[in-house]
Amino acid sequence: MGMQVSTGGNLSMRLREGLFLVKPSGLSLFDLEEKDLLLTDASGGIVEGSGRPTKEIGTHMGVYRVRGDVGGIVHYHPPHATAYAVCGRTIPLLTVHAKRILGMVPVIPPGAEGSEILTSSVQEAFSNPSVKAALLAGHGILAAGPDLRQAQNLAELLEESARIAYLSEALIERPRAATKHLIE
């Protein structure tokens, strides 16, 4: 779907209070099978499975701590939304459904992958119950929904919104540049 390539990106889901399924580090989402998922506790410690949890485990657990309504989280590096994140720019939500469903998409300040600083910033942003998705400055996106499917849908809508915004900006600028010689 163009949301993620190689072994980047990660996902998690809340099973019940205190237990989570998490993507292991170093495995691509394309190759991910149910048997590969790790069962972790709320601190990210492995309860069952082999491998290391994603280095973003703290970020995921931070969202779960502040949002009891969140049952699934995805983190990707889709090209258009990530371009906005790299520039530290919020994505203009131009369509009716993006405005209605996403509402607001904050840009979370930069922090090293898996760092306490990033976890704290993500937790602060998602403590607002209206935040469903966010841009991680210089990094990618994070989407959180009541379940994993809803989180995926939010991530896809965010990337679609970024593509629409990018194309709209190009269409607005291109005619001006193409017709400038006619005006002069």
Which residue type, as a one-letter code, is found at position 175? P
**Domain locations in the chain as residue ranges:** 10-183
In sequence order, the 6+-apart residues with CB closer than 8 A to the CB of 42 are: 18, 20, 61, 64, 65
Tokens of 96: 């009716």
Sheet with 10-16, strands from edge to edge, namely 46-48, 38-41, 19-22, 10-16, 72-76, 140-145, 133-136, 107-108
> Could you list the pLDDT tens digit for every one of the 184 residues in the chain?
565 545 568 999 999 889 999 998 888 777 888 888 999 999 999 999 988 998 899 999 999 999 999 999 999 999 999 999 999 999 999 999 999 999 999 999 999 888 999 999 999 999 999 999 999 999 999 999 999 999 999 999 999 999 999 999 887 766 555 545 544 5
CATH of 10-183, one of 3.40.225.10, 3.90.480.20, 3.30.750.24, 3.30.70.2740: 3.40.225.10
**C-beta separation of 126 from 59 below 8 A:** no
